[in-house]
Amino acid sequence: MLVLGIETSCDETAAAVVSDRREILADLVFSQTALHAPYGGIVPENTARAHLDHLDSLILEAMARAQIGFADLDGVAATAGPGLIGGLLVGVMTGKTIALTRNLPFIAVNHLEGHALSPRLVADIAFPYLLLLVSGGHCQLLVAEAVGRYRRLGTTIDDAVGEAFDKAAKMMGLGYPGGPEIERLAASGNPKRFDLPRPMIGTEGCHFSFSGLKTALRRKIAALPNPWEPQDRADLAASFQAAVGDVLVDRTRNAISTFRRLHPKGDSFVVAGGVAANQTLRTRLEALCADRDLRFAAPPQRICTDNAAMIAWAGIERLKLGLSDPLDFAPKPRWPLDPTAPPAVGAGIKA
């Protein structure tokens, strides 16, 4: 089974061809970062236009690299939410058009499910598993019970963790995306130099909060005579990353207890999403799993940040279960994995 995957939910235009035997025949990502840099951030209208400009040729190139024709495909999967509506419309309309003209099934993929199932693209990981989904827009602990069935244990009550990395990097005068920059600097920094808060640590449950950490970092920077002094900046990055690591480990520890209660036989923990590309955070979570006798899994870095291979794979998982979507499926800017989850306490909750 061969599926074309399309990803346009944020600022990466991506197309990939993947087989049900886990072969990634093509995996192309066009990052719009440079395009948006002059505007100091993402302008939704500009992202949608950029997707429109690049998606067609990217799909053709993916098909050429995979050395297949459209007639060889068994389905077309496109991210249909959550995300910016302009980009989603571009991807979904393109996917539907290919499906319609080639008489192929169309699969509307939830971007978060793409991340959630991504470890299964590279390894045998059976349901149920505990999932930490950490990206620029989301920070959640979930139990993945089956394709299409997720139980949310916790979410952020303010910023997503990737967003916190990005904002911290901006405060430190670093570029976007901030996560990789902070990780690079942190490698030569002292994680104990700056005393930063660890929001929510020690409290019950699995919710997250990062806004206090961000504010504390801003104060530390303001108190420095020359914050761009290389060692100061490296120490700030290392201290910030260490605080984030402590929060993720603490919240995940609680989630492991709940997971064990819900699924005594569940044996795997998975971390996915852009922030899962961070090697220091991975190592810390891996150590926690070793301590708790859980198998640890994380997709390779390339599959952590936004890509279309994970979307194609989510399409394959759904197709294998006989699931596909009608051509009038409307993209959903907001599309929680667990619509039944009660809201987290506090304002500005991300589902």
Instruction: Report the residue number, 9 or 209, with the smaller CB distance to Zn ion.
Output: 9
Q: Which region among 116-124, 203-211, 222-230, 270-278 touches ligand KG4 (by CB under 6 A)? A: 270-278
Q: According to the binding rule CB under 6 A, does residue 13 interact with ligand KG4? A: no
Q: Which tokens is 189 given?
A: 């920094």
- In the list 110, 155, 278, 324, the residue contacting ligand KG4 (rule: CB under 6 A) is 278
Residue 232 to residues 180, 185, 186, Cα–Cα distance (Å): 18, 10, 10
Q: According to the binding rule CB under 6 A, does residue 274 interact with ligand KG4? A: yes
Binding mask 175-194 for ligand KG4 (x = CB under 6 A): --xxxx--x-----------
Residue 193 C-beta: closest distance to ligand KG4, Å: 19
User: What span, in angstroms and rounded, lies between the C-alpha atoms of 285 and 179?
Assistant: 17
The SS3 call for residue 31 is strand
Cβ contact 107:323 at 8 Å: yes
Helix (H) or strand (E) holding 78: strand 75-81
Q: Which region among 66-74, 117-125, 232-240, 271-279 touches ligand KG4 (by CB under 6 A)? A: 271-279
Q: According to the binding rule CB under 5 A, does residue 306 interact with Zn ion? A: yes
Site for ligand KG4 in 122-151 (CB under 6 A): 135-137
Q: According to the binding rule CB under 5 A, does residue 338 interact with Zn ion? A: no
User: What span, in angstroms and rounded, lies between the C-alpha atoms of 232 and 58?
Assistant: 42
Q: According to the binding rule CB under 6 A, does residue 245 interact with ligand KG4? A: no
Instruction: Report the residue number, 76 or 133, with the smaller CB distance to ligand KG4.
Output: 133
Q: Which tokens is 318 given?
A: 């759904």
Instruction: Report the residue number, 11 or 306, with the smaller CB distance to Zn ion.
Output: 306
Cβ contact 77:3 at 8 Å: yes
Residue 276 C-beta: closest distance to ligand KG4, Å: 8
- Across the beta sheet with 139-146, the strand order is 149-155, 139-146, 129-134, 268-272, 295-297
- In the list 27, 113, 158, 166, the residue contacting ligand KG4 (rule: CB under 6 A) is 166
The SS3 call for residue 238 is helix
Q: According to the binding rule CB under 5 A, does residue 135 interact with Zn ion? A: yes
Q: Which tokens is 197 given?
A: 């808060």
Residues that bind ligand KG4 (CB under 6 A): 10, 135-137, 162-163, 165-166, 177-180, 183, 273-275, 277-278, 305-306
